[in-house]
Amino acid sequence: MIKRLNLKSINLRLPIGILPAILFLLVLFIAPFLTLAYYSLLTIQKGNIVGGPSFDSYVKLLSDPFTYYLFGRTILLSLVVVAFCLILGYPLAYISTRIKSPALKTFIMVCVAAPLMTSALVRTFGWIAILGKYGLLNNLLASLGLTSTPIPILFTMNGVLIGMIQIHLPFMIVPLLSTLTSLPKDLDDAALNLGASQWQTFWRVIVPQSIPGIAAGVSLVFVLSFTSFTVPTLMGGEALQIVSIYIWNNVRNLTWSIAAAVSALLLITSLTIVTLLNLLFRRLAPWQHPKG
């Protein structure tokens, strides 16, 4: 039997308490985005509107191979950051939920949260001091006799990756911690009692149950990495263009319609990839979303 949507059964009345949240989203997100989208349809030269509306900016961008290179590089960079954050963050989150000592647990929580208490700019300058040609890392390697000349890390993709992984790691760990902490405490014991090994318990019981946390962490870190600006600018420089830096350069160059169009494409791409990732995780854990 084909199910039909019964409009009469949908309750369209909303409680007044939801109004502030709606206004907040509309004024501070929807309205600016619609303005941005409108600007992307105009022709703007040196900050002045000289034509439009039209799709000229989008045609120009989508017919330029550099656009695909830019987005491809940014997506790849973000996925690598996600992968490293997951590889580094999951064991830390898992171990911290298994530690019995409250003091050690608290210490780990503080270490995870501490980077979030300083600005990304300060942390980035810290990395510049550590990873520079004559910074802490190169000096250490030289003093140990492992290198004779400084290894160039800043203004390379490796430097940008290191900075982004460190800054975004807490955003992977926190959702994982939340999910792993919510799992029943006797789940491990139940699996072991039924004959599973430690590894089987971890891989076939704990990890699948933590997929919602993984999905949340992956989505969050991906979006933050995809739109990251401070770290790539300071640690990568103008020669490592990614989408956010290209938008900034177009704003400075007063080609605002291009900047707006790239911003719109950034949002669409980000939403598409996050949606695909979430669909993937739904397939990996179908029991989390029962039908009916």
Partner 1 sequence: MKRINTFVLIVLVMSLVLSACAPAQTPVSPKATAAPTAAPVKDVKYVDWGFSGDLQVPFRKFLADPFETKNAGVKVTLLGGITEDALSQIKAAQGSSPIDSIMMGEMRYIDAINENILAPLTVKEVPNIALIDADMQKACNGYGAAWMNQIIGVAYNKEKVQPPKNWKDLWDPKYKGQIGIPSPAANNGFLFMVMVAKLFGGSESNLDVVFTKLDELAPFVVAANPSQLAQLLETGEIGLAINWQTQTGPSLSKNSKLDFIIPEPGGAALTSCYTVLSKSANRELAYKYINDSLSTEFQSKISESPWFFGPTNLKAVIPADTLKMNPPMSDIKKLMKFDWSIANKVRTDFTDKFIKRYGK
- Summarize as ranges the residues that interact with partner 1 (CB under 8 A): 12-17, 19, 22-23, 26-27, 30-32, 34-35, 38-39, 45-49, 64, 66, 69, 128-129, 132-135, 154-155, 233-234, 237-241, 245-246, 249-255
Using the minimum distance from each CB to partner 1, give the nearer residue, 202 or 248. Answer: 248
Q: How far is the CB of 172 from partner 1 (least distance, A)?
A: 29
**Dist. CA 252–CA 289, nearest whole Å:** 46
Q: How far is the CB of 218 from partner 1 (least distance, A)?
A: 27
Whether the upstream peptide bond of residue 53 has omega within 30° of 0, thus cis, is yes
Using the minimum distance from each CB to partner 1, give the nearer residue, 177 or 242. Answer: 242
Using the minimum distance from each CB to partner 1, give the nearer residue, 189 or 238. Answer: 238
Give the SS3 label for residue 51.
strand
Using the minimum distance from each CB to partner 1, give the nearer residue, 17 or 184. Answer: 17
The DSSP symbol for 242 reads -
Q: What backbone phi and psi angles, to 5 degrees, belong to 134?
A: -115, 30
Q: How far is the CB of 271 from partner 1 (least distance, A)?
A: 19
Using the minimum distance from each CB to partner 1, give the nearer residue, 225 or 241. Answer: 241
Helices (DSSP H) in 185-255: which residue ranges?
187-193, 198-201, 207-209, 211-226, 230-231, 243-252
Centroid of chain to Cα 91: 19
CB-hemisphere CA count at 13 Å for 92? 20
Q: How far is the CB of 38 from partner 1 (least distance, A)?
A: 6
Using the minimum distance from each CB to partner 1, give the nearer residue, 132 or 175. Answer: 132
**Dist. CA 202–CA 91, nearest whole Å:** 11
Question: What tokens does 88 get?
Answer: 């580094």
Q: How far is the CB of 132 from partner 1 (least distance, A)?
A: 5
Q: How far is the CB of 37 from partner 1 (least distance, A)?
A: 9
- 249, 230 Cβ separation under 8 angstroms: no
Query: Angle at CA 270, nearest 5°, toward 68 and 127?
Result: 85
